Chains A and B, each alone.
Chain A
């Protein structure tokens, strides 16, 4: 993307649909890529109108250029499971060339290279390995919860969601614990739009990414000379098909794991609190039956949909739900919409902690690129809620949640809460 395009996207509100009635504008003017409605939490009626009236929708004019939106659960499944038609290259973001997405990593590779690279790293987050981490994670969760103030207001995002996710990443990478905030910073930088939040300019972002590269290169060099460990860096440094990885690719994969595990988990941690506060009946169900936690975790992840979409690029001319898609077109699967598709998901707008088939949601994607960290994410949330319920009667939201300016990462920047102890 050119400087001009970035400036337009970041500085001009001309693309924003905030405050507009989705039913009072021509269908072709609806542009889900603009972050405005997502931050304002006004996206749902736009999604619904497109699902009903234009399930495969073409947006001709937007700050990020023309793109297709795929709105229905089954159509999203079709796109997600047809990598020969819908490619993950060059990127899975709507914008073509934010530098960090230009770093090669297997999320934006097609088979066979994708499969080769993923196979090497996935065992570190495989359930058998996670089981070994469970005790350590529970301990860290307990420490965080025990350090929180009871009965006075604080920000749940900073003190719990971010802290916990950061500690978890540090555990996975066996990253120096005292430097763990760097992980969060790099992840924030990698996904930021310059001028909105953590970075002001592209240069600043580039500097942070360089710092990240240097740091991880040092860790790599240290671990490559030691016996293989079970942390991710060691696995990459010793893995047969990763140990000769070019530095850019190594960094790409590292950033993928940091970003993949960071915002998503963080925002599911916050999202669960929001969902339970908005649905007191469900909160009561949980208090009465803690065995619902596992099911609730899947429901939180569906309800929140921490990543609103993934993008594909059509490799060939094709037809999807009666629409002719041309080779080279951008195709965006709106998981945030598919997860609210009443044709597949009963009472899709309700948060329902004992929902049957709660695991059948789109938040992790499906097919070859299905989230590699899905069991890790679920485990973190399960442990967190088990520990919360042992301590607190309620995590009460006491102010308006602030949402993130992004149409990709669906989440919260501030969540003022007060903790009520078990009586």
Chain B
């Protein structure tokens, strides 16, 4: 099992435990974590599952893919450590992952 901590923009924390294999977006949505809309259901085509990931953790995941990059570039809240959480696969290496959700999903 993998632990993920979601921190809202105002600091509220939500800790979830999930099986590896799904996406970080699903980990949030299926556990009722607010702040992630995921309108497209994980097809990398809405950018409403935007999260910020700590640099250390970024290194342990697959890099941003080109479609994700294009969608992310449409967000005005984009930062260097922005990711679309539907494109991050939960693996055992990500146990303890911390992600922050933005104030708004665009």
Q: Which residues of A contact B (CB under 8 A)?
A: 77, 80-81, 111, 115, 118-119, 122-123, 126-128, 359-360, 366-368, 370, 375
Known: A115-B70, A119-B74, A368-B74. A81 touches B37 (CB 8 A): no
In this complex, which of A118, A127, A375 has the most chain B Cβ atoms within 10 angstroms of its Cβ?
A127
Chain B: which residue is nearest A123 at the CB level? B76
Chain B 29-51 interface 0/1 with A at a Cβ cutoff of 8 Å (1 = within) = 00000000101110111111000
**Residues of B contacting A111 in the complex (Cβ-Cβ under 8 angstroms):** 70
Q: Is B106 an interface residue (CB 8 A)?
A: yes
* Residues on the B chain within 8 Å of A118, using CB: 74
Partner of B43, one of A77, A122, A359, A375: A77
B103 contacts A by Cβ under 8 Å = yes
Interface size of B in residues (CB-CB distance below 8 Å): 21
Q: Does the CB pair A375–B106 fall under 8 Å?
A: yes
- Checking A77, A127, A366, A368 against B106 with a beta-carbon cut-off of 8 angstroms, the contacting residue is A127
* A81 vs B45: C-alpha distance when bound (angstroms): 7
Tell whether A77 pairs with B45 under 8 Å between CB atoms, given A111-B70, A119-B73, A119-B74: yes
- Residues of chain B contacted by A80 (CB below 8 angstroms): 45
User: Does B92 count as interface, using CB distance less than 8 angstroms?
Assistant: no
Dominant SS at the B interface? loop
Inter-chain contact B45/A127, CB cutoff 8 Å: no
Instruction: Determine how close the nearest CB of chain B comes to the CB of A79; give it in whole angstroms.
Output: 11
Q: Which residues of A contact B37 (CB under 8 A)?
A: 359
Which of these, A81, A119, A127, A370, contacts B104 with CB under 8 Å?
A127
Chain A residues positioned under 8 Å from B71 (CB to CB)? 367-368
Given contacts A126-B104, A368-B70, A375-B106, contact A77 B76 (CB under 8 A): no
Distance A89 CA – B37 CA, assembled complex (angstroms): 30
In the complex, the 9 A-B pairs of residues with the closest C-beta atoms, listed nearest first: A127-B104, A126-B76, A366-B45, A123-B76, A367-B45, A81-B45, A359-B39, A366-B40, A359-B37
A338 to chain B: closest CB distance in Å? 13
Q: Do residues B45 and A370 form an inter-chain contact, with CB atoms below 8 A?
A: yes
